[in-house]
Each structure stands twice: as structure tokens, then as C-alpha cells.
Structure 1
Amino acid sequence: MIIWYTRFQNYVEGNFSTVGRDAVVVYKNGSVEGVAGRLRIADSIHNIIRNIEEVSKERYLVRWWDSRIPVLSPYVLVRDVKITRA
């Protein structure tokens, strides 16, 4: 999912919210279940890092309009992300 409009509510605690920009594909037991509508992630960096389950070996060059320097980033599976409707 590409995220959009990320805003921090509390920089010290790492609380933020962001909305999905494009389609969000829903998987269950490794199979595609469908597509979710627009959603908002409202969580904390601490919770996201604590709930990382898997990280891909492959890394991909990620470039974004607001970053001068691209980064190499893997795919990450995170459990128990707090999601609400956008």
C-alpha cells in the first residue's frame, strides 16, 4: 500500500495517522480475499516496529517526491496495525 498524507500527532511517542493512496489488497492465509476501500492507519511507530513479523530478503529502490535521497527498502509484514476508515 502506498501511504499518503502522513501526519504525526505526537512526535515524542511516535503517534501518527496516514491514509492509503491506491488500492488496498486484502489477503487471508496467503490468498487474495478482495480489495478494501479507503482506509486510515492510526498507530505509533513503536507499535509498528514491535509487530514486524517478516522482512523480505529483496530490497527495492524507493523514490518519493518529498525525499531527495532514494532508499533501499524491503517489504515488511506487520501484524495488528490499527486501521480505521479514512
Structure 2
Amino acid sequence: QTIESSTSSSDTKSRPRNLSSVLNGTFHLHIPDGLPPSLSNNRTPSVVYTLELSLSSNRRRYQIPITLSSRGSMSHPMAD
């Protein structure tokens, strides 16, 4: 599944004027086969996806973990 996303910000006071306030990108989300853990164990069933962001300006890749569970999404700390 591929999700294309474009975001913009009207808060340009904190940004240098030579930078664009629009970020365009294509996000690829790999959805693995299989089901989340069984309800019979003591953990909430969940599936973990990894959103990978590649920036062509500095050739770095960032991985953002996304956990989906029956109670909604859970945030994770960001890591390089």
C-alpha cells in the first residue's frame, strides 16, 4: 500500500525565509501477512508497522514505528 501525503504549515515565523513551508513525499507502508497476537494471552493484540521516510536532501532514512492495537494507536519515541 502506498500513501501519498502533502502537508503545509502557515507558521513561517520560526522558519528561515529561504525554506519551503510545504513538504511533499511518498510514504510506503509494508503490511505483513498474519494476524495480531491472540486474545488468549495477557497482551492487547497489536500489529507494528514501520513508516520509512527518506530525505533526498541529506540521503538519510528515518524509521517511524506505528503500533495499532484494539485500543487505538500507541505513540513511540522517535529514533534514528
Q: TM-score, normalised by structure 2?
A: 0.31
Richer in strand (by share)? 1
Richer in helix (by share)? 1
Q: TM-score, normalised by structure 1?
A: 0.29
Q: Higher Cα Rg: structure 1 or 2?
A: 2
| Higher relative contact order, structure no. (Cα contacts within 8 Å, ≥ 6 residues apart) | 1
